[in-house]
Chains A and B, each alone.
Chain A
Amino acid sequence: SQQGEEDPQALSIQEGENATMNCSYKTSINNLQWYRQNSGRGLVHLILIRSNEREKHSGRLRVTLDTSKKSSSLLITASRAADTASYFCSQGGSEKLVFGKGTKLTVNP
């Protein structure tokens, strides 16, 4: 399967701090995607990084990819209370994506 494993399982920070979440995977990828889930409902796509990219930015989000270590990180800078959510990674490159258990981020005001 194309499952990513997120780390840590839970992260609690203060508003304004940066949050870093990691993702490890096992097989070769075409791309890696990060999603956010609020309130146990549908996931929202955040950012996609292709296998030939090492870093990508989108607003306050920064994603890195290290294919030699089969790992990716998601950095949220200047966090806000509204960033409180669960974050999931998933590999792309096959017909289906599957997700790990995610990182539950809590940003305290």
Chain B
Amino acid sequence: GAGVSQSPSNKVTEKGKDVELRCDPISGHTALYWYRQSLGQGLEFLIYFQGNSAPDKSGLPSDRFSAERTGGSVSTLTIQRTQQEDSAVYLCASSEWSRAYNEQFFGPGTRLTVL
């Protein structure tokens, strides 16, 4: 596609429920990132996929968070047993992998609200 897309754009869920957030990166981009941004805060790195390498999960805040990337393209971020503190905007970005130049292209985000 023309850009990074994310779905849904908004998600309201009840505490304790599981949610899945989807990211479609730009075609051909080998690197994919998930970030979280709480209200008025900066971006918090969650997880990074690069090609077929093992993902960098160092930013995941707890074992309730997981992500996968199927076929090197679409990625799904899953949050199990959601808590109110999980409420945030979840941003996905993709980039061409290059040590010299790795501008990230961001999707519009998914706003998650946990009641």
Report which A residues bind B (CB closer than 8 A): 1, 30-31, 33, 35, 40-45, 48, 88, 92-102
Known interface pairs A42-B108, A88-B42, A99-B42; 12 further A-B residue pairs with C-beta atoms within 8 A, sorted by A's residue number: A35-B104, A40-B39, A42-B93, A42-B106, A42-B107, A45-B104, A94-B99, A95-B56, A97-B102, A100-B42, A101-B41, A101-B42
Q: Which residues of B contact A35 (CB under 8 A)?
A: 104
Q: Which residue of B lies closest to A98 (CB)?
A: B45
Q: How far is the CA of A98 from the CA of B91 in the complex (A)?
A: 13
Asked if B100 and A31 make an inter-chain contact with CB atoms under 8 angstroms apart, the answer reads yes
* Structural contact, A45 and B103, CB atoms closer than 8 A: yes
8 pairs of A and B residues whose beta carbons are closest in the complex: A101-B42, A42-B106, A99-B43, A43-B106, A96-B48, A98-B45, A45-B103, A41-B109
A31-B100, A96-B56, A97-B102 as given contacts; A42 in contact with B43, CB under 8 Å: no
Do residues B106 and A48 form an inter-chain contact, with CB atoms below 8 A?
A: no
Give the number of residues in B that approach A within 8 Å (Cβ atoms): 28
Chain A residues with CB under 8 A of B33: 96-97
Q: For A92, what are the chain B residues with a Cβ–Cβ distance below 8 Å?
A: 100-102
Task: State in angstroms the CA–CA spacing of A93 and B35 once bound together.
Answer: 19
Smallest distance from the beta carbon of A39 to chain B beta carbons, Å?
10
Is there an interface contact between A41 and B104, defined as CB atoms closer than 8 Å? no
Q: In the assembly, what is the distance between CA of A11 and CA of B105, in Å?
A: 26
- Whether A96 contacts B45 by the Cβ 8 Å rule is yes
B89 at the interface (CB under 8 A from A): yes
- For this complex, 11 residue pairs linking A to B, each with C-beta atoms less than 8 Å apart, are A30-B100, A40-B109, A45-B103, A45-B105, A48-B103, A95-B56, A95-B97, A95-B99, A97-B104, A98-B43, A99-B42
Select one of A44, A48, A97, A102 contacting B42, CB under 8 A. Answer: A102
Chain A neighbourhood of B103, CB < 8 A: 33, 45, 48
